[in-house]
Chain A
Amino acid sequence: MGLLKKLYALLSSYGLAALLLVFLLLLTWLGTLEQVEFGLYETQKKYFESLFLIHEAGPFAVRLPFSDPAKGPLMTIPAFPVPLPGVYLLLSLLVVNLVLGGMVRLRKDRSRAGILITHFGILFMLAAGFVEFRWSHEGVLQVFPQERSRDYYSYHEWDITVRDADATGRVREHVIPSEEWRELAPGATHRFTHDALPFDVLVTKTFRNCRVVPQGPMFKGDGAVIDGYVVLDSKPEMEQEFNVPGAYLTIAEKTTGRQTDAIVWGRQMQPLTVDAGGKRWLIDLGKRRHELPFDIQLDKFIVEFHPGTSMARTYWSNITKFDGGQQTAMKITMNEPLRHQGYTLFQTNWGPQDGNLDQPLYSVFTVVENPSDQWPKWSCYVIAVGLLLHFSLRLKKYVASTRRPAPAPAAPKS
C-alpha cells in the first residue's frame, strides 16, 4: 500500500472523524472554562481561531474529603503545559475528512443519497464559518434622532491614521492597521512609509491596554517621558472592547532626518500634530472605521419599560434608509434586523441610560457585514432535507422488510 493510499485511508477514516469530534468536545469544554477568567475575545483567539495552543492545566490540590481545610491539601500538583490542536486546525481536518470519507469514498447509490446531502450540508455550514471568520466585519453604529450616518466602528480593531491637518471636506487618510503593529516584540521597531508623506512613522513600543498620565516622581512609567507624559501599562481587561491601546512613535522626516518622539493613545482627546515638509499633519489612534454603502437616519427611538421599573420591555428604532436616490422608512427591533446589501443592522442598545428621558435618546446598532450571513440557515435546510431523505429511505426499507412473507417453517424431522 503506497504512502498516498495510507494517507487517503487515514484522512477519510471514521477513526479520524471520531478523534476530531472528541478533541472538538474537549476544546469546547476547556474554552468555556477559560472564558470565565480570560474573557470571550481572548478565549476565541486562543482556542477557536488557532492551529495549536498550549493549555495551562492545573495546579491541582489533592485533598481528602471532609479533611480540615486549614491543614491544607495533602499535596499540590503544579501547573503544567498541555499542547493541543486548535479548533481552526481541527475543523480544517474535519472538512478534509468529510470530503474524502463522507463524499468521495462514500458508496454512491440510492440508499446513501440522504447521507451525501447531509454531509454536503455540514460542509456548507463549515464553509459559512470560514467565510465569516475571514471576511466578516462587526462594529457599532450610534445615531441620534434626525442624525444621518453611515460610519460604524469596530469593537476590537484599532488603526493609526495620518492625514493632512488643513484639509477639510472629503479627505483621504492613510491607515496603519493594528494587525501590522500590535504584536511588536520588545526592542523591535516597525517603520511605515508612504510616498505621499514627508515622514516615516516608526512604531517603537506598543501597549494593548494602557493609560497616559503626567509623569510624577512617585511612580515609574512604562516608557520614555515625552512632553511630561508617560505611558502606564495596564492589565488587559477581560472584555477586549474595554482595552485602550497606546504606542510610542518616532516621526522621522525624510528630507532632514529629524526625528521626533511622540505618544499616541486610544483615548487621546486630540490627534498628534506634526509639522513636516512644510505642512501640518494629524496622527490619530482610533477604533477602525467602516462605512456602510447606504445612509441611516434615525427618525425616532422608542423604548417601553416594564411598569414601575427602569427595565426596558422592548425598544425599537424608526429609521429611514437612504440608498442612491431611494428613501425607505423602516423599523429595526431586537428581533427584526435590517438586512441590506450584505449588511445586517441589529438593534442592540440605546442611551443615555441614566433615567433622564427628557434628553434625546440615541440608538445603537450592531452592524455585521458577513457574506455568509444566511448560509448557516440554508445549510440547516440542506441537512434537514438530507436527513429526512435518509430516514425516509430507511423507513421505507424497514416497512418493506416487515411486509415480506415470513419464510415457511422447516418440516419436522421424522
Chain B
Amino acid sequence: MQRLVVAPLSHREKSPAMRATSLALPLLLAAACSGDGGGPRPITQSREVDVTPGRDKVGATSADRFGSMSGGGHAGATAKATPELVWDNPPGWTELPPNSMRTANLKPAGHPDAECYLSLLPGGAGGLVDNVNRWRKQMSLPPIDAEAVKALPKQKLLGLDAVRVDLTGAFAGMAEGPGKADFQLIGLLTTFGDQSIFVKMTGPAAVITAEAANFDRFVASLELLQPADAAARRGSGANASPTASGGPEGGAPAGGAAAGAGTASAPAPGADGRVSATNQGIRFTGPIGWTADAPRATRVVTLRPPGTKQTECVVSVLGGDGGGLSGNVDRWRGQLGLGPLAAAEFAALPRVTLAGRDGVQLDLLGALDDAMTARKLPQARLLGAIALLEGKSLFVKLTGPEAEVDEAVKNGFLELCASLAE
C-alpha cells in the first residue's frame, strides 16, 4: 500500500498572491510611519572626522563619482581615475559618434550598410547562450544549445577569452519580417566583472568577409588605459572613449544646478570676463559672462550663458567625418522630434564659418529628447553648427528652454562659433 507524502516545494514556486500577502503588513507599517507628515526632520547626529587635504574630489562629476563600469571601489575607497577605452581605426573605416549603447561606433570600409560597434552592458545582459541566439535570430538562423555555444571558437578581447560567432544569413536586426539577404555578422561576446562586452560587425557578406582582418585588427587594438596612458596613445593616433561618457555630447548636467557640476578645474573667466582656452586642438573664446563647466574628456568645453538655468553650449570634436554633416543635422533634428531633411532643404541651410571652415548652421524648435545625454526639455531651442575640418569634425550645440534662448544668447552662440580656431 502506498502512503501519501507531503513535500514542500521550493520557495520559487510560491504564488505571487502569497508574496503580496507577506509583504502587505510591512508595507502598511512602512506607509503608516513614513511620508512628510510632521514636517522636516532635524538632523540630530554629528561626529568629527579627520579630513586630509585632497582626500575627496570637490566638484566631482557624475562620471568621477559613478564611472561607467559601476563596479570596483567601495565606500571610502581611494578615488581611481576612470579608465578609457582606446583603439585604432582600421584603414578605410570611419568613426561615428558614440552613444550610450555604442562605446565605439565604426563604419567598416565606409559602406552604408556595414557597421561595427562595441557595447558595454551591465550584468550578464541575458547570458551567453541567449545573446548568441539573439544574434542568430537577427540573422534568421535557428537557435543552438549551450553545448554548441561552448564549442564556438574563442578570441582575445581586452585580454579576455571572448566567444566568436561568424554567421551568414538574412539580416533582420531587431526588426520583424524578412531580413536583408546575404548578410554576414561577426561578433565577440564576453564578460568583465559585472559588465558584458559585445563587439559586433554586420553588413553585406562580401564587405564583411573582406573586412574580417580589419575587424580582428580593431579588436586587437582595443585597450583599457588610465587617462594619462590613454592620452599618450591618443597622441600617437589612437581613438579613445572614456568608458564613463556617453559620447561627444555625453554626460551633460541635467540642469544649471550645482550638484555634480565640477568647479575645481573649470576654466575661469579672464579679466575681460571671457573664458578662453585651447582643448583637443581647438581654441575657443566664450562671450562675456559665459561660464565654463569642468572639462570632460569628450568635450572641448561646456559653456553656460549668463542668466540661464538650463541652457548649455557644448563644443566637441570627433575623428573623421563624425557621421557626416547631413547625418548629424538629421540626428539633432531627430532629438527635437523633427524629420530628416531632403537634399534640397539641406543645401538651403544657412552657413557658418567654424575654425576657418565652411559649415552648416541650425536653429530648431521642438521637444528635446536626447537619449545620449538623457536631456529632456519640453519646449526647447537648439542652435547648432557643424563643420568638417582636416580629418575631424567640429560640433557646436546649444540647447535650452525656448524662453531662455533669446537673441542675446544666439548672438553669443555666433560669437563663440566665430572665435573657434585650430
Residues of A within 8 A of B (CB): 37, 54, 56, 58-67, 73-74, 76-81, 153, 158, 162-163, 165-177, 180, 183-185, 188-194, 197, 200-201, 211-219, 225-230, 232, 251, 258-263, 265-276, 280, 282, 284-287, 289, 291
Report yes or no: B62 in contact with A192, Cβ–Cβ below 8 A: no
**Chain B's nearest CB lies how many Å from the CB of A167?**
7
A169 touches B51 (CB 8 A): yes
- Could you tell me the distance between the alpha carbons of A289 and B48 in the complex, rounded to whole angstroms? 10
* Nearest A-chain residue to B43, judged by Cβ: A194
- Contact flag A56-B22 (CB < 8 Å), given A168-B53, A265-B66, A266-B75: yes
Partner of A173, one of B15, B21, B35, B47: B47
Q: Can you list, as one digit per residue, whether each of B1-37 has a CB less than 8 Å from chain A (1) or not (0)? A: 0111111110101110110011001010011011110
User: Are A280's CB and B260's CB within 8 A?
Assistant: no
- CB atoms of A262 and B259 under 8 A apart: yes
Does B59 lie within 8 Å of A81, measured CB to CB?
A: no
Partner of A153, one of B47, B50, B62, B76: B76
| Contact (Cβ within 8 A) B48 A183 | no
Do A177 and B76 form a contact, CB below 8 Å, given A54-B22, A183-B34, A228-B251?
no
Interface residue from B2, B13, B70, B261 paired with A211 (Cβ < 8 Å): B70
Q: With contacts A191-B36, A216-B101, A271-B65 known, what are 8 further pairs, Cβ within 8 A?
A: A64-B3, A79-B18, A185-B27, A215-B100, A217-B101, A269-B77, A284-B75, A287-B75
Total number of residue pairs linking A and B with CB closer than 8 Å: 265
Listed residue (A169, A185, A218) with the most chain B CB atoms within 10 angstroms of its CB:
A185
Q: Is the CB of B42 within 8 A of A171?
A: no
Q: Can you pick out 23 interface pairs between chain A and chain B where the beta carbons lie within 8 Å of each other?
A: A62-B7, A64-B4, A79-B18, A158-B75, A167-B51, A168-B53, A170-B49, A192-B40, A192-B42, A194-B43, A214-B250, A216-B101, A218-B121, A227-B254, A228-B250, A261-B257, A268-B66, A270-B57, A271-B65, A272-B259, A273-B58, A275-B261, A282-B58
Residue pair A274, B258 in contact (C-beta under 8 Å): yes
C-alpha spacing A405/B130, complex, angstroms: 90
Check B257–A258 contact: CB distance below 8 A.
yes
Residue pair B58, A64 in contact (C-beta under 8 Å): no
Q: Mark B209-242, 1 if CB is under 8 A from A, else 0.
A: 0000000000000000000000000000000000
What CA separation (Å) do A56 and B18 show in the bound complex? Answer: 8
B121-172 CB contacts (< 8 Å) to partner A: 121-122
A78 to B42, CA, bound (A): 47
| B62 neighbours in A (Cβ, 8 Å) | 226-229, 263
Q: CB distance A171 to B258 under 8 Å?
A: no
B50 touches A213 (CB 8 A): no
B255–A260 CB distance below 8 A:
yes
Residues in B neighbouring A166, C-beta threshold 8 A? 58
B86 to chain A, nearest CB (A): 19
Shortest Cβ distance from B27 into A: residue: A185
Given contacts A61-B7, A269-B64, contact A184 B59 (CB under 8 A): no
